[in-house]
Structure 1
Amino acid sequence: MEELANTEQAQAWNGYEGRHWAEHHDRYDAVNSGFNEQLLDAAAIGPDDRVLDIGCGNGQITRLAAQRAHRGHALGVDLSAPMLARAREAAATEGVANVGFEQGDAQLHPLPDAAFDAALSRFGVMFFADPVAAFANTARALRPRGRLALLTLRGLGSNDLGDVLAAMSAHLPVESADESVESASSLADPERIREILSEAGYTGSEVVAADAEQLWGADPADAAEFLCGWGPVRHLLRSAEPGAAERVRAAAEDAMRPYHRSGAVRLRGAAWLTTAVRL
């Protein structure tokens, strides 16, 4: 892999965070896949298109894009070796042959010039150290008038998960607030999204609200256990006082109860769906 600009994120995604996402790929896809059709439709992928998935993670969106571009190809790029291994394994299992995966930092990765018709990302672009550089690199890889479609969090206050995390935080020291949670909302301001994309070489940016149901577990106890294993929460628990972990887990379970229906814990996810074209 090339030299990294985003070294802190690379360490996380090649350490515990990436392993947890890879090992629980089906659960993270259950959380996020309600947004899949909205994103893929916004990218307007045709059967002959060449598609780039930025921050592809375990590769579900890459594989779905490849299926839409069945005479074309889809490439997923991500920092995380564990997640890319899972993505390749899933593609082989599902028989998706027109797909590839590369490990790299989107800010620096040597993508070929004008090689893609569309680029997309499902919550994979909120953690860049330099978002303008990352999106400029992506723009260079798109053909002129190539399409961009992105999903980013609308802010934890707009998501049901924000209420759950607030209940959990009451049992954690204020000074332990984790930057990883905050950085997930780094592109929650539509005006900032437009400014970044304009500076990076895109035009016609449109940012619209997108909601979807997110499945966090079979029941409140299952969902709370899974959430407490999520990297940012686990990081907070490591610096908390003895006994805090059980109180946090219990608070998460209680907060999940109102969302338990029809055999699952169902939280409302709120995102921004952004589309733009390369100049």
Structure 2
Amino acid sequence: MKFPETSSPDGRPKTGAVDFDAELHLHNRAFHRACAIASHERVLDIGCGAGQTTRDAARTAAAGSALGIDPLAPAIASARELAAAQGLGNVRFEQGDAQTYPFPARGFDVAISRFGTMFFASPIAAFRNIRSALTDDGRLVMMVWQAREANEWSTAVHGAQAQSTAAFSLADPATAERILDAAGFADASFQDVHEPVYYGDSVGAALEWIGQFQATKQVLQSLDAEAAERERARLREIVAGHYRDGGVWFDSRAWIVSARCR
């Protein structure tokens, strides 16, 4: 899978194709502001995907550096290509799982993540490993989804057939705070982000994007041919009903969670 750069002025792709960065371009603005990265800081980006958030961090940390880590090799390959094309010399990318990756002790001032921390098999162990990579006065800033019922992209698109709730594992502030406390973080705060996700400039583009979701594939594979066709028709109707302002949009709610090391 390719992870192309989205380069139109508002963050949407110039063609009908959609990628994760385009989907989240409104969220990304709020997230980058909340990270408040200083020019000298060393930034660790967890679950960086194709590296948009890492490159944003590297540009802001002009006298510092940024490392992006992601378990998907194609994402890392694209991230490296895009950073090289943009001439960023203070950024690098590594394939790996943040839960077990051998980060240098106290090698970073801030850890960031845009929807990259909800899928850890052992979240406390993962956040402890991230904490060990931060300086004693370091901090964590991450964006996670709020509860499923607050996210129309899940309730409307996947409906009652959704088979996984992993994307919402940090939705409950009390749960997230308890995990972070056990991992060595303190003073967690939760900023509400209420922005729609963008699924493309046409019904066809949105259906193509939705068709790449693991949840969509799981549902369609579990159905017989006739039921699968009904599900595709349902998706087309749902998507068509969400076309407005030159694109397909679904409501969403997220948290920006900030915490300090202790």
Same structural fold, with TM-score higher than 0.5 when normalized by the shorter chain: yes
Q: Which runs of 5+ in 2 are unaligned?
A: 7-17
**Conserved 8 A contact 2:3-2:19:** no
Question: How many angstroms does 1:221 deviate by?
Answer: 3.1
**In structure 1, C-alpha distance between the alignment counterparts of 2:168 and 2:243, rounded to whole Å:** 25
- With 58-67 and 88-97 compared, the bigger mean Cα shift is at 88-97
Q: CA RMSD in A?
A: 1.8
> Which residue pairs with 1:4 in the alignment?
none
> Which residue pairs with 1:73 in the alignment?
65
Question: How many angstroms does 1:189 deviate by?
Answer: 0.6
The SS at the match of 1:251 is helix
> Which residue pairs with 1:274 in the alignment?
257
How do 1:185-200 residues align onto structure 2 when only pairs under 5 Å count?
A: 185-200=168-183
How do 1:29-108 residues align onto structure 2 when only pairs under 5 Å count?
A: 29-108=21-100
AA aligned to 1:265 is V
Identity %: 38
> Which residue pairs with 2:239 in the alignment?
256
Task: Verify: 1:144 aligned to 2:144, yes or no.
Answer: no
AA aligned to 1:51 is V
The SS at the match of 2:256 is strand
The SS at the match of 1:269 is coil
**Conserved 8 A contact 2:211-2:217:** yes
How do 1:236-255 residues align onto structure 2 when only pairs under 5 Å count?
A: 236-255=219-238
Question: How many angstroms does 1:131 deviate by?
Answer: 0.6
**In structure 2, C-alpha distance between the alignment counterparts of 1:247 and 1:224, rounded to whole Å:** 14
AA aligned to 2:59 is Q
> Which residue pairs with 2:14 in the alignment?
none
AA aligned to 1:131 is P
**In structure 1, C-alpha distance between the alignment counterparts of 2:109 and 2:37, rounded to whole Å:** 8
**In structure 1, C-alpha distance between the alignment counterparts of 2:92 and 2:52, rounded to whole Å:** 12
TM-score (normalizing by structure 1): 0.85
Give 1:201's match in structure 2, choosing from 159, 177, 184. 184
**In structure 1, C-alpha distance between the alignment counterparts of 2:156 and 2:89, rounded to whole Å:** 40
**Conserved 8 A contact 1:70-1:98:** yes
Give 2:167's match in structure 1, choosing from 179, 184, 199. 184
Distance 1:212 1:164, change over 3 A: same
TM-score (normalizing by structure 2): 0.90
**In structure 1, C-alpha distance between the alignment counterparts of 2:252 and 2:203, rounded to whole Å:** 17
Distance 1:24 1:66, change over 3 A: closer
Runs of 4+ in 1 over 4 A off after TM superposition: 23-26
> Which residue pairs with 1:213 in the alignment?
196
**Conserved 8 A contact 1:163-1:255:** no
**Conserved 8 A contact 2:4-2:19:** no
How many residues align? The count is 251
**In structure 1, C-alpha distance between the alignment counterparts of 2:49 and 2:228, rounded to whole Å:** 28
**In structure 2, C-alpha distance between the alignment counterparts of 1:234 and 1:70, rounded to whole Å:** 41
**Conserved 8 A contact 2:5-2:82:** no
Task: Verify: 1:122 aligned to 2:122, yes or no.
Answer: no
**In structure 2, C-alpha distance between the alignment counterparts of 1:106 and 1:162, rounded to whole Å:** 26
The SS at the match of 1:71 is coil
Q: Which has the higher helix share?
A: 1
